[in-house]
Chains A and B, each alone.
Chain A
């Protein structure tokens, strides 16, 4: 078995791996995932003794510390006990030798077999990995990428190693070949341990029992693959998953703000305060840190300090830039390195009940909305959706239940609450006072929170208006709601809700009055804000087709009760509750197979 303890690898001043601790039992499989440059390859090279960097810590293989091993012994260990399949390894095959010769070579070199037996074994292995016998004597350049990958795996298996390290085994392969390689690797499970270094999250979920997420040389999350990849706890893992195209999730792809690597002298983190118009000091410290706040987190030395992800994290708090969070164990071995205990539940609604006379508008409604997440509350008219929004906003007093924001119970709704939580009302034109011009309407939250005069906020108002694709000239600023179209009013209402830079936007049918083209733009904007600064969206809608594209999770309401909740893809593809099935069936879809109609 392999045990990596506090492994640190440095190249010059740069720390490529930083106190990585991982464990891989015999015959098990572990995927290490992360973006390019996270240190995955270095990890593989370190374990096989091929890295040129300075190493610290311990790599225990069956009780021996590989880092103390003399080079001679390491060479013996390599291929015999630990085999490495390099990234683009096909290019490293000897161009002048046939595949069979190259698979035979390590067996002979390590004196495992007599040449004849070795050739025999090589053929068997090549057949086993799916390479047709007529290709065994082919030269590498005549083979396809997939076939070369198969050959490399056969090579790795030659001496029956206890561990195979595969660096990006699926990169550059077409989907069918990739599937075959994955099936092949799957067949190896139990025969030897697999250490999979990949950015292919689907491969990790298919092959590895456990997955570790590496970010800039540090393990930020580690646990059973199913949990890590379907229920990520670390903001980075979620970002990685959101950016990963797959056939399971239905939400549009989203990136991670900022860059993993800094250019010289540049600020590699988030663009400071792109959407934070108010520059409020945040009492709970969930604001990001601008360039002035983290002068030197990017260079190699300061990597030791703080959480590596904090410049890109939308929920960073005070200790994040200075103290490194420990990779703390959770129940069932799901480990996480985050000062905030993973993605924070931003809004928690607990057991809310509300009646209007004999009508039960809400009955024991409980839901959780995480930081940077979109949660849709779907249901028919009269299912209690709007009442729920009003209860959250404090416009309707519930008979029972509590609302929690950022893990604190909301006792009273003061300005601090409303700066973090904003709402877009169902009827946008009516939600703007007919006495207010666009300027007055959009500036109202700013005036209430920052004071000053109307003119002081004109520039901010223009900026938000442009963001929601509205004109920002003086003529438009002087318009009244009744001079504008429904779509314009709706966007003014959205702009107004965004001026304070809220963490949570409660949107009650925010695009009901809009054409699909503008609706698409608005949601692109909202999802972009979500990507950039972790805006959480509580989307109240009856449009399941929309919800599935923009939401991470869905809550289905019927007659004031939550009847189903789960990931959008799961609810829209395999709904459990009969009413959910009705809603899904009624959602708009193009008729398939009737192109000739």
Chain B
């Protein structure tokens, strides 16, 4: 199937908006840290308002807030990407296996899913993150550990539906081996679900990472958007929230929004029935 991704994304307002935002964040995350100074180096110039040297001023340690915002983008996106991919992979494996195998394997896997789903994820994540003083990698693992069941259930349900679709049955009557059926007929139809799952997980990861940092849980030396907000709260009486709190908050919101917008577009794109007819 030939899809012109670029064209599909750029041809709609949603796609353009999401793409531009995520593009800006991604470029910032990739290149930005090399261009700005160190975000953690303290300086005597504390609590400075924006200036030419410090576009967003400094915090109470005299650290460059703009540099922190730029470095925060890298962390947020890395966690989002890692958690998103790992979650979807886990969900696809477990949900797909349950849907294809059926029988006792299905039962075992689904009870496991229910068990994980029944746990209060937020509380457990907070406890684990606080106890182990988790870094970004640890965070990705923990988010994945509690993030996969939702998508896995949807994947399983979809797999069960797909395996009895006439076109899948038809492929079997051409003598197609199981791997071929999975790859050519089942996975493509799971793709929209996986994309949605990825974007949900990524969104959640951005949110969780920011939230945990805001709560001061985890490694306190890590520079992140959440940690910036947490630091800013103590100086609410100053005008500092304008350049200290608002930028990371907006960055978080914009990143999450971009994931959502792209999610809508990609979902429509992977399903030709939602695609507009392009015939002349």
Contact = CB atoms under 8 A, between A and B. Distances in A.
A427 B166 contact: yes
A483 interface: yes
Nearest to A445: B174
Contact of B175 (A432, A436, A448, A483): A448
Given A434-B272, A434-B273, A449 B174 contact: yes
A391 to B, nearest CB: 13
A427 B189 CA distance: 18
Contacts of A435: 1, 188-189, 272
Interface in A465-487: 475, 480, 482-483
A444 B174 contact: yes
B277 interface: yes
Interface residues of A, number: 34
Given A433-B167, A448-B180, A395 B272 contact: no
A414 interface: yes
Contacts of A419: 175
Contacts of B171: 433, 444
B122 interface: no
5 contacts: A422-B174, A430-B166, A431-B169, A434-B272, A449-B175
Interface in A404-435: 413-415, 417-419, 421-423, 425-427, 430-435
Nearest to B280: A475
Contacts of B185: 433
Interface in B249-280: 271-273, 277, 279
B167 to A, nearest CB: 4
Interface string A444-461: 110011000000000000
A482 B185 CA distance: 17
Interface in B127-183: 165-167, 169-176, 180
Contacts of A431: 166-167, 169-170
Contact of A418 (B165, B174, B271, B273): B174
Contacts of B169: 390, 393, 395, 425, 431
The 8 closest A-B pairs by CB, nearest first: A415-B175, A418-B175, A431-B166, A445-B174, A433-B167, A430-B166, A431-B170, A425-B166
Contacts of B180: 448
A420 B189 CA distance: 29
A430 B167 contact: yes
Contacts of B176: 444, 448
Interface string B8-31: 000000000000000000000000
A278 to B, nearest CB: 12
A436 B167 CA distance: 10
Nearest to B189: A435
A480 B272 contact: yes
Contacts of B165: 430
Contacts of A390: 169
Of B175, B180, B189, chain A has the most CB atoms within 10 Å of the CB of B175
Contacts of A427: 166
Nearest to B271: A434
Contacts of A430: 165-167
A414 B121 CA distance: 47
Contacts of A395: 169, 172-173
A578 to B, nearest CB: 34
Contacts of A426: 166
B100 to A, nearest CB: 15
Contacts of B170: 423, 425, 431-432, 493, 496
A214 to B, nearest CB: 42
B121 to A, nearest CB: 35
A394 B171 CA distance: 12
B160 to A, nearest CB: 15
Nearest to B174: A445
Contacts of A418: 173-175
A502 B173 CA distance: 12
A529 to B, nearest CB: 18
A423 B173 contact: yes
B215 to A, nearest CB: 45
A189 to B, nearest CB: 54
A423 B180 CA distance: 19
Interface in B166-210: 166-167, 169-176, 180, 184-185, 188-189
Nearest to A446: B174
Nearest to B191: A435
A392 B186 CA distance: 23
A294 B44 CA distance: 101
Contacts of B271: 434
B96 to A, nearest CB: 18
A431 B188 CA distance: 16
Nearest to A506: B173
A552 B74 CA distance: 73
A425 B188 CA distance: 22
Interface in B68-97: none
A483 B279 contact: yes
Contacts of A434: 167, 271-273
